[in-house]
Structure 1
Amino acid sequence: MYNAIYQSHAGSWAITLLLFFIAYLLIVTNKDKAGKIVHMILRLFYVIMIVTGGWLLFAWYLSELTFIIKALLALALIYFMEVILTRAKKKNLDRKVKMYHWLQFGVTALLVVLIGFNVLSF
């Protein structure tokens, strides 16, 4: 059971990042209907990630501080992805704000991946 949930969680992360970049490119290139559809599918994968990640955290890793921090960073990463996409839809991103949000996204994504693959631990 653990392996199936773990693989679902890891796979949903990969698909989520791919869908995020596809949705962003569709929104930026003014393909609003396609961008909206991909964004809704992306939100479904957020739910899959949160459910499988919560199951892994509470069933196996609740006593490890590293994975609690990873869970909080993962929720922040989902927030940053949503902020980038919604502001891109509303065309509410100037150059400085856009760089700030992308920097937050990049640093948080890097930390989540490094903790997820046990490269970084506390």
Structure 2
Amino acid sequence: MYNILLQSHAGSWAILVLLLVVSYFAPKQKITPMIQRLFYLIMIISGVGMLAMIGFPLLYILKGILAIMLIGFMEVIVGRRKRSESTKKYWIAVIVLLLIILSIGYDLI
């Protein structure tokens, strides 16, 4: 069961990054942000399931909090792009958070 959750979690992250790029470069589309939100749910549910299976270690709880922040910044980027506002500082935050989250997830930290 853990492997199923792990694969769906990792796959949803990869798809989320792709959907963020598509949503950014095609701001008039309405379907990509909806699909993006569906994958947020898949990612959160699979992440909480894995946390429950491994006993809620503190480092992975921190990873979950950072992931929720990352989701927020992704939503801000899509929203600000639709309103033609600057998104540079949010992209920097997304990249930094994504690197930290991936480092924790792949046991580099």
TM > 0.5: yes
Q: 2:103 aligns with which of 114, 117, 120?
A: 114
SS in 1 for 2:108: coil
TM-superposed CA distance for 1:59, in Å, is 2.1
1:23-102 to structure 2, matched below 5 A, reads: 23-27=23-27, 32=28, 35-62=29-56, 64-93=57-86, 98-102=87-91
Residue 13 (structure 1) aligns with = 13
Which structure 1 residue ranges, 5 or more long, are not aligned?
none
What TM-score, normalized to structure 2?
0.94
What TM-score, normalized to structure 1?
0.85
Runs of 4+ in 1 over 3 A off after TM superposition: none
Over the aligned positions, Cα root-mean-square deviation in angstroms equals 1.0
Instruction: Report the identity percentage.
Output: 43
Count of aligned residue pairs for this structure pair: 109
SS in 2 for 1:119: coil
